């Protein structure tokens, strides 16, 4: 049942929901076990041993007191042997407790670190399987963000759950000792601690709801922090004088977080004080009762110390266990976010008996009435696309900004699937083909390619990471894209670190980066090469040369080129003109000029600029 006063979008953390979230604990422990079975097992054994020590200590303490009392009341020279034996046992127990505690702490720390790393790896692995459009959805990002937060928080959860089990066993030991004396006192303790438990649950809900509601804003906060001080943004931050604007925005957001948290924390701590007093009152009620019994002679002084100690410890443990229970369920709710993230499945997948990618491609790619719109958009980015990219053909895409050129290319590479119509490869739907092979056989260099803060070799090898150590292939690719000319001035040549983020990094110009990115296209022997404005930053001569080489090097292969420069475009076998996502003209340069349509108009416009 939904709580009536829940705001839309607020997470449901009813008691039932909390208990349900505990169902995530077994999966969590599976994760822990997978991370390191030996550490998990060792931890469990040590903690079980540790849970028996408090009762043993109290009991030996009682024996010592009783022995001392007996000795003081016995006339004559007393024998100390038994007393010293008891003291030695207590001493040994104290040492064992200390050593066990340290060992448990050590294992907790190491295991927690490992679990955190293991979770991070799984998040990265899973994220890599997901679709591009999932990354373009902000609710997905929030989920990813909450899943990421888990990696640090789960270390705490691990030791909490383990401590909980350990404390419960200790309590059973202590309670068993006390049961024989008075079960009612245990009940009294329990009742006295309950208000603190409920208060803890209530405020934990509030804290979770607060954190949940802030996820998006926190992402913005992190982004502003990054913008405010990063090598990539510093240039614009200075030129546009953005610093004050960013700082103000950061302050506004962070002050709001601070105030919200302050309000809640104040209320939480105030109530915690009140309920701690109630808990103490319960304990002292029991204590007074035991004192009276001792005064009446029904209990020995040793019994008084033992029972008093047992009750004090039991109360502390009970309070701890109840409060920790709340934060464990809390942790379990966060775990739910983590496991929910793992449950997000990609939509772009392949069928069980996927078709092998044709080698070579015989007919080509045929668009049959293909239409696509982005998830968060009402507009069609591509529509009514009907054409064939023939095997071995070089096709250029032309159109104004936003005409849908990049989108078409993403559909070809199956980063998205068409919303309408279908794309056929040699007569079969692209969806039927093996996805891994498709990714290998279709190479794309996007206009917003990544500038990896890595070495030159690594930057080129990302085009085919399996060949990372194939230096001759890398150098060959660099020659083809003319990136090799750069090596003359890079002190570390192919081992040169690029970008400014790391030690000895060298920054390149836009065109130089493009040559590096282009080399990626030559790292694998793809049958279809797509270059999305790969030469926009190259000077005219470099561009001309790059394309001459490209045509030469990709002879017999299919290629799609997106460019706003007609000097490049005219080299293509056919040119496809897009307007508002739709195909308006198709043909070679001469045909399209003769047609005197949109292409001719754009061509003359650009040519006029050069005259």
Which residues sit at the interface with ligand ATP, rule CB under 6 A?
Answer: 136, 374, 376-377, 381, 399, 401-407
If the CB atoms of residues 415 and 462 are measured against ligand ATP, the closer one turns out to be 415
Judged by DSSP in three states, 295 sits in: helix
| Shortest reach from residue 370's CB to ligand ATP, in Å | 13
Structure tokens at 568: 């490049």
Q: Quick one: which of 454, 489, 504 has its CA closest to 474?
A: 454
Task: Please say whether the beta carbons of 145 and 218 come within 8 A.
Answer: yes
Judged by DSSP in three states, 422 sits in: strand
Please give the C-alpha separations between residue 330 and each of 152, 218, 337, in angstroms, as whole numbers: 15, 20, 11
Q: Cα 144–147–150 angle (5° rounding)?
A: 155
| Shortest reach from residue 416's CB to ligand ATP, in Å | 9
- Burial class (CB within 10 angstroms; exposed 0-12, middle 13-18, buried 19+) of 584: middle
Cα–Cα distance for residue pair 541/535, rounded to 1 Å: 11
| Shortest reach from residue 531's CB to ligand ATP, in Å | 13
If the CB atoms of residues 322 and 602 are measured against ligand ATP, the closer one turns out to be 602
Q: Are strands 582-587 and 574-579 parallel, antiparallel or unpaired?
A: antiparallel
| Beta carbons within 8 Å of 196's beta carbon, 6+ residues apart | 272, 275, 276, 278, 279, 319, 322, 323
Could you tell me where the DSSP H helices lie in 481-553? 510-521, 540-553
Q: Cα 182–188–193 angle (5° rounding)?
A: 135
If the CB atoms of residues 447 and 567 are measured against ligand ATP, the closer one turns out to be 447
DSSP assignment, residue 455?
B
If the CB atoms of residues 71 and 605 are measured against ligand ATP, the closer one turns out to be 605
If the CB atoms of residues 227 and 398 are measured against ligand ATP, the closer one turns out to be 398
| Shortest reach from residue 413's CB to ligand ATP, in Å | 13
| Shortest reach from residue 153's CB to ligand ATP, in Å | 31
| Shortest reach from residue 45's CB to ligand ATP, in Å | 53
| Shortest reach from residue 584's CB to ligand ATP, in Å | 13
Please give the C-alpha separations between residue 591 and each of 570, 595, 598, 599, 608, in angstroms, as whole numbers: 11, 6, 12, 10, 20
| Beta carbons within 8 Å of 110's beta carbon, 6+ residues apart | 39
If the CB atoms of residues 180 and 377 are measured against ligand ATP, the closer one turns out to be 377
If the CB atoms of residues 257 and 387 are measured against ligand ATP, the closer one turns out to be 387
If the CB atoms of residues 407 and 496 are measured against ligand ATP, the closer one turns out to be 407
If the CB atoms of residues 336 and 414 are measured against ligand ATP, the closer one turns out to be 414
Cα–Cα distance for residue pair 37/103, rounded to 1 Å: 17
Cα–Cα distance for residue pair 66/60, rounded to 1 Å: 10
Cα–Cα distance for residue pair 171/313, rounded to 1 Å: 9
Cα–Cα distance for residue pair 423/366, rounded to 1 Å: 6
| Shortest reach from residue 562's CB to ligand ATP, in Å | 7
Cα–Cα distance for residue pair 608/611, rounded to 1 Å: 5
**Maximum alpha-carbon separation in the chain:** 129
If the CB atoms of residues 82 and 374 are measured against ligand ATP, the closer one turns out to be 374
Q: Could you report how far apart the first and last alpha carbons of the chain are, in Å?
A: 74
| Cis amide bond preceding 360, omega within 30 | yes
Chain centroid to CA 529: 32
If the CB atoms of residues 407 and 457 are measured against ligand ATP, the closer one turns out to be 407
| Shortest reach from residue 512's CB to ligand ATP, in Å | 21
Cα–Cα distance for residue pair 488/485, rounded to 1 Å: 6
If the CB atoms of residues 186 and 397 are measured against ligand ATP, the closer one turns out to be 397
| Shortest reach from residue 405's CB to ligand ATP, in Å | 4
If the CB atoms of residues 227 and 560 are measured against ligand ATP, the closer one turns out to be 560
| Shortest reach from residue 190's CB to ligand ATP, in Å | 57
Task: Please say whether the beta carbons of 227 and 187 come within 8 A.
Answer: no
Structure tokens at 514: 């493009």
| Shortest reach from residue 20's CB to ligand ATP, in Å | 35
């Amino acid at each position: 049942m939904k709580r009536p006063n829940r705001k839309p979008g607020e997470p449901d953390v009813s008691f039932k929901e909390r208990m349900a979230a505990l169902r995530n604990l077994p999966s969590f422990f599976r994760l822990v076990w997978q991370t390191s079975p030996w550490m998990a097992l060792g931890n469990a054994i040590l903690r079980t041993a540790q849970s028996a020590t408090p009762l043993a200590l109290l009991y030996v303490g009682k024996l010592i007191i009783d022995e001392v009392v007996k000795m003081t009341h016995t006339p004559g020279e007393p024998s100390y042997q038994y007393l010293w034996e008891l003291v030695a046992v207590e001493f040994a127990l104290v040492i064992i407790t200390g050593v066990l505690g340290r060992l448990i702490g050590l294992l907790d720390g190491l295991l927690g670190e490992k679990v955190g790393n293991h979770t991070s790896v799984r998040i990265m692995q899973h994220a890599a399987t997901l679709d591009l459009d999932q990354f373009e959805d902000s609710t997905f990002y929030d989920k990813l963000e909450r899943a990421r937060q888990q990696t640090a928080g789960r270390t705490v959860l691990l030791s909490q759950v383990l401590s909980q089990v350990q404390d419960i066993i200790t309590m059973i030991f202590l309670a068993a000792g006390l049961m024989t004396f008075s079960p009612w006192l245990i009940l009294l303790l329990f009742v006295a601690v309950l208000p603190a438990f409920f208060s803890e649950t209530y405020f934990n809900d509030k804290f979770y709801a607060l954190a949940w509601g802030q996820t998006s804003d926190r992402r913005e906060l992190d982004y502003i922090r990054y913008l405010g001080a990063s090598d990539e943004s510093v240039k614009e931050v200075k030129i546009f004088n953005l610093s004050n604007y960013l700082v103000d925005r950061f302050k506004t957001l962070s002050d709001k977080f601070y105030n919200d948290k302050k309000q809640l924390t104040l209320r939480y701590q105030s109530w915690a004080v009140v309920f701690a007093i109630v808990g103490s009152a319960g304990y002292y009620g029991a204590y007074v009762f035991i004192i009276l019994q001792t005064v009446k002679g029904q209990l020995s002084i040793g019994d008084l110390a033992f029972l008093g100690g047992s009750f004090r410890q039991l109360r502390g443990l009970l309070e701890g266990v109840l409060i920790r229970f709340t934060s464990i369920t809390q942790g379990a709710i966060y775990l739910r976010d983590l496991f929910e993230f793992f449950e997000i499945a990609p939509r772009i997948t392949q069928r069980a008996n996927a078709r092998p990618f044709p080698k070579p491609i015989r007919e080509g790619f045929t668009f049959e009435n293909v239409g696509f719109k982005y998830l968060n958009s009402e507009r069609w980015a591509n529509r009514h696309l009907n054409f064939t990219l023939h095997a071995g053909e070089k096709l250029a895409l032309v159109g104004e900004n936003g005409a849908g050129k990049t989108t078409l290319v993403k559909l070809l590479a199956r980063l998205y699937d068409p919303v309408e119509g279908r794309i056929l490869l040699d007569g079969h739907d692209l969806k039927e083909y093996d996805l891994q092979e498709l990714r290998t056989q279709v190479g794309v260099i996007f206009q917003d390619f990544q500038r990896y803060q890595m070495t030159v070799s690594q930057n080129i090898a990302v085009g085919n990471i399996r060949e990372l150590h194939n230096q001759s292939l890398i150098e060959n690719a660099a020659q083809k894209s003319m990136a090799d000319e750069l090596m003359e001035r890079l002190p570390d040549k192919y081992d040169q670190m690029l970008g400014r983020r790391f030690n000895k990094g060298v920054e390149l110009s836009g065109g130089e980066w493009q040559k590096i990115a282009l080399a990626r296209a030559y790292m694998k022997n793809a049958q279809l090469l797509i270059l999305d404005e790969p030469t926009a930053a190259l000077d005219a001569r470099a561009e001309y040369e790059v394309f001459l080489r490209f045509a030469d090097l990709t002879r017999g292969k299919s290629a799609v080129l997106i460019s706003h420069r007609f000097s490049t475009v005219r080299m293509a076998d056919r040119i496809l003109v897009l307007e508002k996502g739709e195909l308006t003209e198709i043909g070679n340069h001469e045909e399209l000029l003769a047609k005197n349509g949109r292409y001719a108009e754009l061509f003359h416009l650009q040519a006029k600029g050069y005259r």
